[in-house]
Amino acid sequence: MRFVPWYPYPKLGVAELAPPSKQKTSWDFSNIDPLAVDFFTAASGRPVMLNFSTIPQWMFKTPEPVSFSADPNEVTWTYEQGAELRDPSAREVADYYARLASWYTLGGFTDELGQWQASPHHYKIAYWEILNEPEYEHSLSAEPYTKLYDRIATSVRQVSPETKFVGMSLAEPMKSSASFEYFLNPKNHLQGVPLDMISYHFYAIPTAEQTPAIQQYTFFEQADKFLIAVGFIEAIRQRLSPDTKTAVNETGCILAEDIGTGITGAVAKTIPASYWNLCGAMFAYLYAGLARQGVDIVGSSQLLGYPTQFPSVTMLDWNTGQPNARYWVLKLLHDNFHPQDRIVKTSSSSPDVFAQGFIASDGTRKLLLVNKRDRSFEISLPHGNGASLQRVDETTGSNPPAASFLNSDKIVLQGFSVSVLSFP
């Protein structure tokens, strides 16, 4: 589970919003802790990936101080500015993150004035991801980002020695081959700095004029191009740092007008129910494609989107909390496929239906079927009679996966169906 407080809400993601003076500091977790504690409680002891992605703005050189709303719930898209740190050594940034880590793992920290700031927290943080989409946020190229990564990882590890680190977190990996070459080369890092894991993101984005009938082709075409790029990225990783793991930890779809609503705050238009099924089907397709390439983690983004925060990426209805088809697809995959499963060679005679077979650690044979289109297909399955079926499609809507048994060697896949068959 990944937790990423993000810059549009400075008071919810930045714990020191003003530089320290000789008399006082501005450390304040009163708005951040309720969200963080909810996250750790929901994780219930499972491994977590923490990413406090926003560096305090005052640590960057800007012509004027950057203002933000006093209301923690009011979006401030202009908070993140500047590309040059006021402390070129990056020690100031590294110390900030070490204190953040200490707040959540060691019950507090000593601030810049030598005062102990006590917290009630003693959480375990499995992974600390360093910054988010740095090529967008502060326009960091590979070299300055790697320097920041090294300084932050070194400082946080002194506080939490068992924590591993995730680097890069790129928004557009297909445009960043040079960044992978630089970051994954151990010669470009300080001695002893771990390269535990890299991360990058993928979102399918249609153009504004595309109708739902066209989007289904666009999304899967973009997914295929991304999977090709992953192959090249994996070749770089295996050549330079083969022990480094990979997380594609933001995966989803974004409607074109959502890019505008995220910036302007406009209310999103009504999103058709079929869109959530299309995004769920694409995620299942990517899940299998990334598993085939040995990617360690694929994460569905995001749990809750809403107007001003990319509503077309959500897994929950922001008015009711009701899960949509994207959520149920994620749960279907999570409940049926596991890291110990074996992937077996599988083929489909239809370009519109994707198939991937798995053999679970207990010997159970399972088949993932993804209908990439908004129309139904009848599929022949040798020895399918008697198999159990779980499915999410356009007929299940916002309900949990439907369950049944096959009574023949044929199955009808409804529009954008994600189906899992378990064979006796």
Question: Residue range 146-174: average pLDDT?
Answer: 97
CA 411/CA 225 separation, integer angstroms = 29
Task: Looking at 44-127, list the stretches that DSSP marks H as alpha helix, in order from N- to C-terminal side.
Answer: 91-105
Domains of the chain: 2-339 (3.20.20.80), 343-423 (2.60.40.1180)
Q: DSSP assignment, residue 401?
A: P
Mean pLDDT of the chain: 95
CA 214/CA 177 separation, integer angstroms = 30
Q: Could you tell me the CA-to-CA distances from 52 to 156, 170, 415, 424 in Å, in that order?
A: 12, 15, 39, 46
What are the structure tokens assigned to 196, written together?
């535990």
User: Is residue 288 over pLDDT 70?
Assistant: yes
185-209 pLDDT, tens digit per residue, is 999 999 999 999 999 999 999 999 9
pLDDT category of residue 263 using cuts at 50, 70 and 90: low
Q: What is the pLDDT of residue 197?
A: 98
Instruction: For residue 62, give the 3-state DSSP assignment.
Output: coil
Q: What is the pLDDT of residue 268?
A: 57
Q: What is the pLDDT of residue 105?
A: 98
Question: Residue range 377-405: average pLDDT?
Answer: 94
Contact 371, 413 (CB under 8 A): yes
Which residue in 171, 163, 172, 165 sits closest to 189, CA to CA? 165
37-81 pLDDT, tens digit per residue, is 999 999 988 999 999 999 999 999 999 999 999 999 998 889 999
Contact 167, 199 (CB under 8 A): yes
User: Is residue 265 over pLDDT 70?
Assistant: no
Instruction: For residue 184, give the 3-state DSSP assignment.
Output: coil
pLDDT category of residue 406 using cuts at 50, 70 and 90: very high
Which residue in 235, 336, 248 sits closest to 289, CA to CA? 248
User: Is residue 271 over pLDDT 70?
Assistant: yes
Which residue in 242, 299, 275 sits closest to 127, CA to CA? 299
Q: Give percent of the chain above pLDDT 90.
A: 91
Torsion of CA 54, 59, 64, 69, to 10 degrees: 40
Length of the chain in terms of residues written: 424
Q: Starting at the edge strand that comes first in sequence, how are the strands of the sheet with 342-344 ordered?
A: 342-344, 353-359, 365-371, 418-423, 388-392, 402-405
Q: DSSP assignment, residue 127?
A: E
What is the Rg, in whole angstroms, of the alpha carbon atoms belonging to the chain? 23
What are the structure tokens assigned to 98, written together?
């070490």
Number of H helices, E strands in the chain: 9, 17
Which burial class, exposed, middle or buried, applies to 345 when counting CB atoms under 10 A from its CB (0-12, 13-18, 19+)?
Answer: exposed
Residue identified by tokens 């997914």 is 223
User: Is residue 130 over pLDDT 90?
Assistant: yes
CA 121 to chain centre: 25
Percent of the chain that is helix, strand, coil (3-state, to 5): 35, 20, 45
Q: What is the pLDDT of residue 270?
A: 83
With both helix axes pointing from N to C terminus, report the angle between 325-336 and 273-292 in degrees, rounded to the nearest 10. 30
Range of lowest pLDDT (8-17, 211-220, 225-234, 269-278): 269-278
Task: Give the pTM.
Answer: 0.94
323-371 pLDDT, tens digit per residue, is 999 999 999 999 999 988 999 999 999 999 999 999 999 999 999 999 9
75-112 pLDDT, tens digit per residue, is 888 999 999 999 999 999 999 999 999 999 999 999 99
Task: Looking at 193-347, list the stretches that DSSP marks H as alpha helix, in order from N- to C-terminal side.
Answer: 212-240, 256-264, 273-292, 325-336
CA 312/CA 315 separation, integer angstroms = 9
Which residue in 48, 40, 16 sits closest to 117, CA to CA? 16
